[in-house]
Amino acid sequence: MLFQVEMDVNIPPGFDPEEAATLKAAEKVRFQELQKAGTWRHIWRVVGRYANLSIFDVPDNATLHELLTTLPLYPFMTVRVTPLCRHPSSAHADDR
C-alpha cells in the first residue's frame, strides 16, 4: 500500500547542536536502510522548509506508524499521512 507522508522537522531552539547532528546522521542511516529495502520509495525536499514529502510502500497503516516511530528525528516531526491508490489512467503498472 502506498502512502504520501509529509514530514516537517522542528528541532527546538537551544537543543544541543552535537546531539542534533548525531540524530541527523542516524536519520540518514535509517532512511537509506528503508530506501534500499524498497519501503521508502521516494523522497523530495520541500523548498524553504526543513521538511520532506515522501512515498512509502508498506502493507498497512500500522506498519507505517511503527516504521515512522523508528526514525531518530520522529520526536521533532509533524507528520501528515495520505493513503494512495493507483489511478486507472496511470501508465505505470507498479503504481499499486
> Chain-centre distance of CA 67, in angstroms?
9
Q: Tell me the CA distances in angstroms from 49 to 8, 11, 44, 62, one per residue in order.
A: 8, 12, 12, 28
Instruction: Report in angstroms the alpha-carbon separations of 56 from 11, 19, 59, 66.
Output: 23, 27, 10, 13
Global pTM? Answer: 0.89
CATH topology of domain 2-84: Alpha-Beta Plaits (3.30.70)
pLDDT tens-digit readout, 28-40: 999 999 999 999 9
pLDDT tens digit sequence for 52-96? 999 999 999 999 999 999 999 999 999 999 999 888 888 877 666
pLDDT of residue 92: 76
